[in-house]
Amino acid sequence: MIEPNEKDAMRAELVALADVVRAYSETDVNKAAVRMLDALAVCYVPDLMNCTPERLGFHQAAMQQVMALKKIFAGEEYSDPRV
């Protein structure tokens, strides 16, 4: 089991790493990552439209994760990398 202080430390590291990625948002590599995440989001649309009600939450969470990561790579306003 993860202790609360360990969880806080992991969370702080995740936020710090996201800040580093965000700082390099104008690089070609980050721009390519944004395009890749856009393409992934487009691929998820049919899954969202054609899934069972039981699987909808999983597909929505996947899309939300993609969009959160995209915002970080694109250097957009602060976004939490976790969904």
27/53 Cα distance (integer angstroms): 40
Work out the average pLDDT over 65-78.
87
Work out the average pLDDT over 32-38.
95
Work out the average pLDDT over 24-35.
93
Is residue 81, in this structure, part of any structural domain at all?
no
Domain extent at residue 34: 4-74
Is residue 27, in this structure, part of any structural domain at all?
yes
Is residue 61, in this structure, part of any structural domain at all?
yes
Is residue 37, in this structure, part of any structural domain at all?
yes
Is residue 82, in this structure, part of any structural domain at all?
no
Does residue 43 sit in helix, strand or coil?
A: helix
Work out the average pLDDT over 26-52.
94
- Provide the token pair at 17: 């790493």
Work out the average pLDDT over 39-49.
94
Q: Total domain count for the chain?
A: 1
- Provide the token pair at 19: 């800040």
